[in-house]
A and B are shown apart, each in its own frame.
Chain A
Amino acid sequence: MTEKFDYPFDPNYLLRKKKSIRRKLIEKNNFLEKRIAILGGSTTAEVKDMLEIFLLNGGIKAIFYESEYNRYYEDAVFANAKLKEFAPDIIYLHTSGVNISRYPSFSESAEEVENLILVEMERFSNIWDCISAEYSCPIIQNNFELPYYRGLGSLDNYHINGRTRFISELNSRFSAQARQRQNMYINDINYLSAWFGLERWYEKIFWYSYKYAMNVEAIPFLSHGIASIMNAIFGQSKKCLVLDLDNTLWGGVIGDDGLNNIRIGKENPEAEAYCEFQQYVKNLKDRGVILAVCSKNDEKNAREGFAHPDSILCIDDFSDFCANWDPKYENIRNSAKKINIGLDSIVFVDDNPAERDAVRSQEPQVAVPELGNNVSKYINILDKSGFFEAISLSSDDLLRNDFYQNNVSRDAAKSRYENHDDFLYSLKMVAEIKQITPIYLNRATQLINKTNQFNLTGRRYAATEVDLISKSPNYIALYGRLQDKFGDNGLVSIMIAAIRGDDLHIDAWLMSCRVLGRNMEYAMFDRLVMQATEVGLKSIIGHYYKTEKNNIVSNLFRKMGFQCVVVGGLPSSCWRLDISEAYTCKNNLIEVIK
């Protein structure tokens, strides 16, 4: 039994030792504090305890609200002063098969069964609507696991009166709702229970004795999954996968065995397993995970491995390629700098336990799963870890690797110019800066919640809040897109400012680091001032709230010409800029389209 929180962890160890584990985890500091309401249709105590541990391990300190036993509906739908006062950041609805009001009987007609489905959907839609209206926070909703028994055997799966069919139908309608609603995310217990094993999941003694809807041993996995979704919502998911090469991406040692003898392809079972793992990694890259290589090899040999005709991955798939004999943690630090991401956004995989240990001990921020050295398990371990959990897939995700590759071209171009402005000018940058519209809601929310460095206030918003703000006359809410001759950078910056009297308060100002040093912040600010002047505002108030990662913008307001008005006891500050007199635009390198 070991103290591990990354998959594959030991559920029974976590259950048995949860109190001391919690005690130790909570001694760390720099937690992100979040208020989480659990509305349960069955007992939730263990779900909460395990969730707390996984969140703490990921840097989130949760304050919990738990509904009374099986009061999820009442808590969500009726006026609830206690929950209102709690002001949840997230509401998790822990419901499952035991909360289905009624299953169809065998005598009911197709219309009656359909009606039963509609009634059930109505009940849950009502919950989701009420939560959205009252609390404007993201909802995590369990779907349903397959039934404990099948009255019709296999026929149960497709007969109109079957329970299995009934649940499958509800699940697909839950999914459709989650696709439609801005702020609702499914926790897929249908998948989890199948993977855990339905027979073990339905260890009914836990239901009869303690009203747990599932085997308590499954709960660590359940809570781990919920924590992964929460990490994604709060922008804490990992962004980059750093990979070893020999015996990680192919079998054998390229430097010793040579290109013709490494095992990748269809020739033998091991080669096939490496092929499938490369395909898995390629899929991650295709959905926006950044890839990098970190291998102890001569660079020439390392690169040659990807020339193998059966290699699925190619050199161009990697945003950084480190093959040398330096310690791996040093290479990982360099890669993080070059790619411009935090070390806590990185997952490192290596078949060699010594290398894993070295990275773990030198760079504890880097996630290093126990990959083992059996290639047929690599995919499962990485996939179940939830490191790269996503809550949406934006078009920017699909293009992300292009952005970073374009950055490499830009860096190459940069070396040809003596003056940075000349270089920027040569990029032929074109920006679109406008009020946020519904089409940009998802991407804007995603950017707000995962940008940590260029972020003045660190304030997070749910999609529903961004939606309300963008439509309110009391706010200016801008998005910025930036293109240049190397490609489209997508939506890269957000500003949210509240109008109070004659002042405009900048509540949120953030920008993706991939366009740092491109004058985009000036273009954004110019537009904000322009809009503020148009409605007759006299001054702009800027706030800087220090976080662990936003030191890079601690002096931004000074650079923009603000006067510091308050420096609190905290390393935070408040700034003012008078705009009642003529304002000179600060950006002259980016063309802003009208």
Chain B
Amino acid sequence: MNIEEIKNRLTDIFRDVLDRDSIVLSQETTAVDIEEWDSLAHISLIVAIEKEFKITFKLIEIEQLANVGDMFYLIQQKLH
């Protein structure tokens, strides 16, 4: 799956979980940029991403994510 497609599906997830249709993701986006993205929402996001892509994350992988771009590549890597 290419990064663009992952980005689109991830954007849908963010919009659903955070309930705001105007959310736009870029590689540099972090939790600071999106008001609704708090620690509780973060759990919901991770759960929804795992279900959407049928993947599971390891603890260490989630901890090391610095921005949404890292998440794109982690998902892409898991899908291989």
Where the two chains meet, the residues of A that have a C-beta atom closer than 8 Å to any C-beta of B are 12, 15-20, 23, 45-46, 205, 208-210, 212, 216-217
Name B18's contact: one of A15, A19, A205, A212 (CB within 8 Å).
Answer: A19
Q: A209–B13 contact, CB under 8 A?
A: no
Instruction: Find residues 1-58 in chain B having any chain A CB closer than 8 Å to their own CB.
Output: 13, 16-19, 40, 43-44, 47-48, 51, 56-57
Closest Cβ of chain A to B73, distance in Å, is: 21
Name A205's contact: one of B16, B19, B44, B59 (CB within 8 Å).
Answer: B59
Closest Cβ of chain B to A217, distance in Å, is: 7
Residues on A with beta carbons closer than 8 Å to the beta carbon of B56: 205
State in angstroms the CA–CA spacing of A212 and B46 once bound together.
14
State in angstroms the CA–CA spacing of A17 and B16 once bound together.
5
Q: B59–A16 contact, CB under 8 A?
A: no
State in angstroms the CA–CA spacing of A46 and B17 once bound together.
13
Point out which of B13, B16, B56, B59 has the most chain A C-beta atoms below 10 A from its C-beta. Answer: B16
State in angstroms the CA–CA spacing of A20 and B20 once bound together.
9
Name 18 extra pairs, CB < 8 A, besides A20-B16, A209-B43.
A12-B47, A12-B48, A16-B44, A16-B48, A16-B51, A18-B44, A19-B18, A23-B19, A45-B43, A46-B40, A205-B56, A205-B57, A205-B59, A208-B59, A209-B62, A210-B43, A216-B47, A217-B47
Residues on A with beta carbons closer than 8 Å to the beta carbon of B48: 12, 15-16
Closest Cβ of chain A to B60, distance in Å, is: 11
User: With contacts A19-B18, A20-B19, A23-B19 known, is A46 near B43, CB below 8 A?
Assistant: yes
Closest Cβ of chain A to B76, distance in Å, is: 21
Residues on A with beta carbons closer than 8 Å to the beta carbon of B43: 45-46, 209-210, 212, 216
Closest Cβ of chain B to A46, distance in Å, is: 7
Q: A16–B19 contact, CB under 8 A?
A: no
Closest Cβ of chain B to A201, distance in Å, is: 15
Which residue from chain A places its CB closest to the CB of B46 in the assembled complex?
A: A209
Point out which of A23, A216, A217 has the most chain B C-beta atoms below 10 A from its C-beta. Answer: A216
Residues on A with beta carbons closer than 8 Å to the beta carbon of B19: 19-20, 23
Point out which of A17, A20, A212 has the most chain B C-beta atoms below 10 A from its C-beta. Answer: A20
Query: Total interface residues on B, using CB and 8 Å?
Result: 15
Point out which of B44, B56, B57 has the most chain A C-beta atoms below 10 A from its C-beta. Answer: B44
Closest Cβ of chain A to B9, distance in Å, is: 12
Residues on A with beta carbons closer than 8 Å to the beta carbon of B47: 12, 15-16, 216-217
State in angstroms the CA–CA spacing of A149 and B19 once bound together.
39
User: With contacts A205-B59, A209-B59, A209-B62 known, is A16 near B40, CB below 8 A?
Assistant: no
State in angstroms the CA–CA spacing of A16 and B62 once bound together.
19
Closest Cβ of chain A to B61, distance in Å, is: 11
Name B40's contact: one of A17, A20, A23, A45 (CB within 8 Å).
Answer: A45
State in angstroms the CA–CA spacing of A210 and B44 once bound together.
11
Q: List 13 A-B contacts (CB under 8 A).
A: A12-B47, A15-B44, A16-B44, A16-B51, A17-B16, A19-B17, A20-B16, A20-B19, A45-B40, A46-B43, A205-B56, A205-B57, A209-B43
Which residue from chain A places its CB closest to the CB of B49 in the assembled complex?
A: A16
State in angstroms the CA–CA spacing of A210 and B62 once bound together.
12
Closest Cβ of chain A to B36, distance in Å, is: 8
Residues on A with beta carbons closer than 8 Å to the beta carbon of B18: 19
Closest Cβ of chain B to A196, distance in Å, is: 15
Residues on B with beta carbons closer than 8 Å to the beta carbon of A208: 59
Which residue from chain A places its CB closest to the CB of B19 in the assembled complex?
A: A19
Which residue from chain B places its CB closest to the CB of A204 in the assembled complex?
A: B59
